[in-house]
A and B are shown apart, each in its own frame.
Chain A
Amino acid sequence: MINRTHVHCTVNGDEVDFLATDSTSLLDALRTELGLTGVKEGCGTGDCGACSITVDGALNCACLMFAPEAEGREIGTVEGIAQGDHLHPLQETFLEGAALQCGICTPGFLVAAKVLLDENPTPTETEIRYALAGNLCRCTGYDKIIHAVQEAAVQLNGAKS
């Protein structure tokens, strides 16, 4: 039998345990062991950003991590962005601004954009482009994505003041 490692970590605020081989990617573990298929695989080589997640708050490609590296870490995925039925402003502005088409890159963009806005509530357009440079989209042309992030920043800042 193949050796499997026991991994204990936090995913979207919940403590979870799963088994994974040393060569299993964190992407595969999240998708198959935990059923978090919102984390997409677009390339498996860290080029497209569809599998963007947070690890202790920092942006990462799940396909570039081995599952056992999640031990003791706090993992965040697209499934954790909404609070129950209450969508995050980024999700609302992506909806309202038609900032998605096929939508398979959308989870990665949302995770990356949330990391940006958590760190920098008032990003410039250039800062948004830098923050999302690791995420590829083949449908939208990106313009509506930039507008959605800008609009979400306005809404979040409005909510705070």
Chain B
Amino acid sequence: MSLDPTSVAGGVGQSHIRRDADDKVTGAATYPGDRVPVDALHAVVVFTAQPHARLVSLDVAPAEAVDGVVTVVTAADVPVNEYGLTMFDQPVLIGLDDTGRSDVRCDVSRWEADHLAIVIAHTRAAAEEGAAALAVEWEPLPLVPDVESARRDLVLVHAETAPSNTYYEMAITKGDIEAGWAAADVVIEGRYELPHQEHAYLQVEAGTAWIDDEGRVTVETSGQWTHEDREQIAHALDLPEDRVRVIYATIGGAFGGKEDMSLQIVLALAARKLADLGISRPVHCRWSREESIVGHHKRHRATIEARLGATRDGRITAVEADVWLDAGAYNYTSNKVLGNAHLSVAGAYEVPNARIDSRAVYTHSVPGGAFRGFGGPQGAFVAETQMNKLAEVLGMDPIELRRRNMLREGSIGITQEPLPPGVGLPEVIEACAERAPTDGPRQPVPPFRSVASLPTGVDDPAIVRGRGFAAGMKNVGFSFGFPERCEAEIHFHGDAGDDRPTSVDVFHGGAEVGQGNHAAILQMTADIAGVDVDRVRGHFSDTAVSGDSGSASASRLTFMAGNSVLGAAEEAEKAWRDGARPAIGAFRYVPPPTETLDPETGAGQPNFSYGYMAQVVDVSVDTLTGHIRVDRVVSAHDVGRAINPELVKGQIEGAVVQAHGYVLSEHLVVDEGRIRNPRLSQYLIPGIGDVPTEVESVILELGDPIGPWGARGVAEMPYITYAPAVIAAVHDATGVWFDTFPLTPSRVLAGLRDGAADPL
């Protein structure tokens, strides 16, 4: 834990109460859906509801004739009808009109939530009535609903731009794979099906747009990177970026699900259309829960085939894997997510010989995109389950197996480069081994019987218990040569004779999605400025005043924002010593460069920092009902330095429970390109009665040599190892390996009956 609390109140290492908490407990905090100006018009975004169809005709006149409807925005209103975070492959609006300066064909709907039109009216009810009145004719086209059918390339999702649905591929070849198999005494083979996951942030997408006093198209919403939103809006509207302003209200969760565009561009288009019509009123839009679940991307569904070779004494000799991610209808960030799955499928181990081929595949399904872990959960699930199966076959303690193969200081990674200095993997593994050794005694647990009508007994033979282990690593920050950066500006205020500033302003774009990033920025600023945190004012997430922070993703923001704050404070300190009042420092932090990988060998340095984690999970399985209870979790992390230990603990507990849903209960039904269960009554995220009985967070502060105060990142790491640890614990209890999940009671019962997992 924190070793040397610094002298200022609310400095680094203190569990200071986050500043936004006061408004959040009184109901005063306003999220995008709460901020509806009294004179606002209301917009409804019309989805095509067509997983694959050609638009034959669209007549907006019946909608415009509805009482209260002001106007309808269509593709004809989009100057550059395309967007996409890492490649432009998606029309903003489907329409028959030309696509402006875009080459993306816009007369075909490839996803049920492609946008067709924006209906703007005086009331939401009138906008909904107008949306229902649109006269639309579609010609259905043949569907590729999943990766298996898409790989045949009989129907192309993007025929004009991608000659194969398998549109993005990565490869790793390391060492001599044949020699690796020849040296192997044991080979583990598996085929794994990883499911979609819905983010289910409690705050559904909403926002308001207007033209501000300086004539900027202004969008106030929730997201993860104001400057990226601004870039995407400016591109589609064909405006210079400084003519667009993006502001974040209080954000109600994101988890990667708000990294991509939802309402940002359509709200900007609506505001611009109103301005063109001479109507100077703001426009507000909010999605329903159903629109949110249907209308934004998911954690990728994936199929992974893997082989793992090892000697009798547990040394890895070879790893082979084939990864297919279902990218859905548009790329979103699939090419980047694929990169993470690609690297993590080899595990956090020294692998002398490897062949890994990974592909992202277009389908007419919901797009896959960013979600806590960003490809890491899929890859690490396979890597860790393969290792746990290997331990079983060898009759070896799974933790001992890791000791013999784990990456350590100076190890060469799967991309044939040394890991960045500060490899904390051995320490987190040993932290777990101390607290919950694989063969150690289990803690007593209360009786468990999930169905009230059945009897409960402490020694009930139908209740079986098991323990599972998993370990891993996750990069901090953007990978593969992406231009990583983070900006901060700091003002020191005071009189000429003051030794230290009397107050400080910090300007930062970092998105406060709930994780506590603003609290961390304020604490780090206070610490380096040498003033109590109550004297630090934050000015956040408004492109008119805050610089480019990069996104709240990739477990990067504490690391990146902290380094930007350190740089800006150093500049402000120089100005302060030179007598400037206020003393202003601005800084753009750029971490060590990363590289795109060699297309054939995968060689290169993909990342500049990692966080390391290991987990032990104890479960009880009710073999009569198929229910699983997680009795205990030990989650050990090298976070480098805990800027605010309670908030770090919050990240660990929250990530564990989100992964708990992924592996046990969350089952998104996607059939023929349509999500069939877009409600929280049908898609079951964990409630307070479903979660692990005990989560013990073990926070190691080993320090990243280039992290601010030594900090790494923590947001994704506890998520990634949880599913394989649960699967291993269930195997320990039942003897059955489940190579697919969620482990719903019916799947567990079927697995117990058949000795293997069935598809749902």
Q: Which residues of A contact B (CB under 8 A)?
A: 31-32, 36-48, 50, 77-79, 81-82, 87, 91, 94-98, 100-107, 110, 128-130, 132-133, 135-146
Which listed residue (B24, B33, B656, B679) contacts A103, Cβ 8 A?
B24
Q: A43-B289, A47-B679 in contact; A95/B17 too (CB < 8 A)?
A: yes
Which A residue's beta carbon lies closest to that of B23?
A103
Which listed residue (B31, B515, B681, B691) contacts A101, Cβ 8 A?
B515
B residues near A96, Cβ cutoff 8 Å: 17
Chain B, interface SS category: loop
A residues near B658, Cβ cutoff 8 Å: 138, 141
Write out, one digit per residue, whether chain B residues 664-704 have a CB within 8 A of any chain A CB (1) or not (0): 00000000000000011100010111010001000000000
Write out, one digit per residue, whether chain B residues 637-661 have a CB within 8 A of any chain A CB (1) or not (0): 0000000001101100111111000
Q: Is the CB of A144 within 8 A of B653?
A: yes
Which listed residue (A39, A128, A144) contacts B27, Cβ 8 A?
A39
A81 to chain B, nearest CB (A): 8
- 17 extra interchain contacts, Cβ-Cβ under 8 A, other than A106-B25, A141-B658, A142-B657? A42-B204, A45-B679, A48-B202, A91-B25, A96-B17, A97-B646, A98-B17, A98-B649, A101-B514, A101-B516, A102-B251, A102-B513, A103-B21, A103-B252, A136-B685, A139-B514, A141-B653
A residues near B647, Cβ cutoff 8 Å: 98
A residues near B22, Cβ cutoff 8 Å: 95
Q: Is the CB of A43 within 8 A of B679?
A: yes
Q: Is the CB of A37 within 8 A of B27?
A: yes
CA distance A32 to B646 in the complex (A): 36
Which listed residue (A82, A107, A141) contacts B695, Cβ 8 A?
A141
Q: Is the CB of B688 within 8 A of A129?
A: yes
What is the total of A-B residue contacts with beta carbons within 8 Å?
Answer: 161
Which listed residue (B24, B199, B687, B688) contacts A146, Cβ 8 A?
B688
Q: Is the CB of B26 within 8 A of A135?
A: no
CB-defined A-B contacts under 8 Å, sample of 20: A32-B36, A40-B203, A42-B203, A42-B289, A79-B27, A87-B26, A101-B253, A102-B250, A102-B251, A102-B252, A103-B29, A104-B31, A135-B688, A136-B202, A138-B200, A138-B658, A139-B514, A139-B650, A140-B650, A146-B688
B residues near A141, Cβ cutoff 8 Å: 650, 653-658, 691, 695
Q: Is the CB of B688 within 8 A of A144?
A: no
CA distance A102 to B18 in the complex (A): 11
Q: Is the CB of B21 within 8 A of A138?
A: no
Interface residues of B in 16-43 (CB under 8 A from A): 17-18, 20-31, 33-34, 36
Q: Is the CB of B250 within 8 A of A103?
A: yes
Which listed residue (A36, A40, A77, A140) contacts B654, Cβ 8 A?
A140
Q: A78-B26, A79-B27, A132-B688 in contact; A44/B289 too (CB < 8 A)?
A: yes
Write out, one digit per residue, whether chain B residues 235-279 have a CB within 8 A of any chain A CB (1) or not (0): 000000000000000111101000000000000000000000000
CA distance A40 to B24 in the complex (A): 11
Would you call B15 an interface residue if the criterion is a C-beta within 8 Å of the partner chain's C-beta atoms?
A: yes
Would you call B86 an interface residue if the criterion is a C-beta within 8 Å of the partner chain's C-beta atoms?
A: no
A residues near B681, Cβ cutoff 8 Å: 45-47
Which listed residue (B649, B687, B695) contacts A136, Cβ 8 A?
B687
B658 to chain A, nearest CB (A): 7
CA distance A48 to B25 in the complex (A): 18
A residues near B516, Cβ cutoff 8 Å: 101
CA distance A139 to B655 in the complex (A): 8
B629 to chain A, nearest CB (A): 13
Q: A41-B33, A95-B21 in contact; A139/B654 too (CB < 8 A)?
A: yes
B512 to chain A, nearest CB (A): 9
Q: A38-B27, A105-B202 in contact; A136/B17 too (CB < 8 A)?
A: no
B residues near A95, Cβ cutoff 8 Å: 17, 21-22, 25
Which listed residue (A38, A47, A98, A142) contacts B26, Cβ 8 A?
A38
Q: Is the CB of B202 within 8 A of A138?
A: yes
Q: A37-B27, A139-B514 in contact; A98/B689 too (CB < 8 A)?
A: no
B73 to chain A, nearest CB (A): 24
Q: Is the CB of A102 within 8 A of B687?
A: no
A residues near B23, Cβ cutoff 8 Å: 103
Q: A42-B202, A42-B204, A43-B679 in contact; A103/B20 too (CB < 8 A)?
A: yes
Would you call B168 an interface residue if the criterion is a C-beta within 8 Å of the partner chain's C-beta atoms?
A: no
Q: A79-B27, A87-B25, A138-B253 in contact; A101/B204 too (CB < 8 A)?
A: no
Which B residue's beta carbon lies closest to that of A21?
B125
Q: Is the CB of A142 within 8 A of B691?
A: yes
Which A residue's beta carbon lies closest to that of B250?
A103
A105, A106, A110, most chain B CB atoms within 10 A: A106
CA distance A48 to B27 in the complex (A): 17
CA distance A98 to B25 in the complex (A): 11
Q: Is the CB of A129 within 8 A of B689?
A: yes
Would you call B201 an interface residue if the criterion is a C-beta within 8 Å of the partner chain's C-beta atoms?
A: yes
CA distance A100 to B653 in the complex (A): 12
Which listed residue (A32, A94, A139) contacts B25, Cβ 8 A?
A94
CA distance A144 to B21 in the complex (A): 14
CA distance A143 to B655 in the complex (A): 12
Would you call B6 an interface residue if the criterion is a C-beta within 8 Å of the partner chain's C-beta atoms?
A: no
B25, B26, B250, most chain A CB atoms within 10 A: B25
Would you call B288 an interface residue if the criterion is a C-beta within 8 Å of the partner chain's C-beta atoms?
A: yes
| Closest CB pairs A-B (n = 9) | A38-B27, A102-B514, A103-B24, A141-B653, A104-B252, A141-B657, A37-B34, A47-B680, A78-B27
Q: Is the CB of B201 within 8 A of A102?
A: yes
B535 to chain A, nearest CB (A): 20
CA distance A132 to B17 in the complex (A): 24
A residues near B252, Cβ cutoff 8 Å: 40, 102-104
Which A residue's beta carbon lies closest to that of B35?
A37
A36 to chain B, nearest CB (A): 7
A61 to chain B, nearest CB (A): 12
B residues near A44, Cβ cutoff 8 Å: 288-289
Q: Is the CB of A102 within 8 A of B203?
A: yes
CA distance A31 to B286 in the complex (A): 14
Interface residues of B in 37-80 (CB under 8 A from A): none
A106 to chain B, nearest CB (A): 5
Which A residue's beta carbon lies closest to that of B28?
A38
B25 to chain A, nearest CB (A): 4
Which A residue's beta carbon lies closest to that of B652?
A141
Write out, one digit per residue, whether chain B residues 691-731 have a CB within 8 A of any chain A CB (1) or not (0): 10001000000000000000000000000000000000000
Which B residue's beta carbon lies closest to that of A90?
B25
B residues near A101, Cβ cutoff 8 Å: 253, 514-516, 650, 654
Which listed residue (A98, A104, A129) contacts B202, Cβ 8 A?
A104
B706 to chain A, nearest CB (A): 27
A70 to chain B, nearest CB (A): 18
Write out, one digit per residue, whether chain B residues 542-570 have a CB within 8 A of any chain A CB (1) or not (0): 00000000000000000000000000000
Which listed residue (A138, A140, A143) contacts B685, Cβ 8 A?
A138
Q: Is the CB of B33 within 8 A of A100?
A: no
Q: Is the CB of B688 within 8 A of A145?
A: yes
CA distance A106 to B514 in the complex (A): 12
CA distance A135 to B656 in the complex (A): 18
CA distance A41 to B36 in the complex (A): 14
A residues near B33, Cβ cutoff 8 Å: 41
Q: Is the CB of A50 within 8 A of B202?
A: yes
B residues near A78, Cβ cutoff 8 Å: 25-27
CA distance A59 to B121 in the complex (A): 35
Q: Is the CB of A79 within 8 A of B654?
A: no
Q: Is the CB of A40 within 8 A of B26?
A: no
B691 to chain A, nearest CB (A): 5
Which A residue's beta carbon lies closest to that of B515?
A101
CA distance A87 to B288 in the complex (A): 32
Q: Is the CB of B687 within 8 A of A133?
A: yes
Which listed residue (A82, A98, A129, A132) contacts B650, Cβ 8 A?
A98
CA distance A146 to B689 in the complex (A): 11
Q: Is the CB of B25 within 8 A of A110?
A: yes
CA distance A159 to B667 in the complex (A): 46
Which A residue's beta carbon lies closest to that of B514?
A102
A residues near B17, Cβ cutoff 8 Å: 95-96, 98
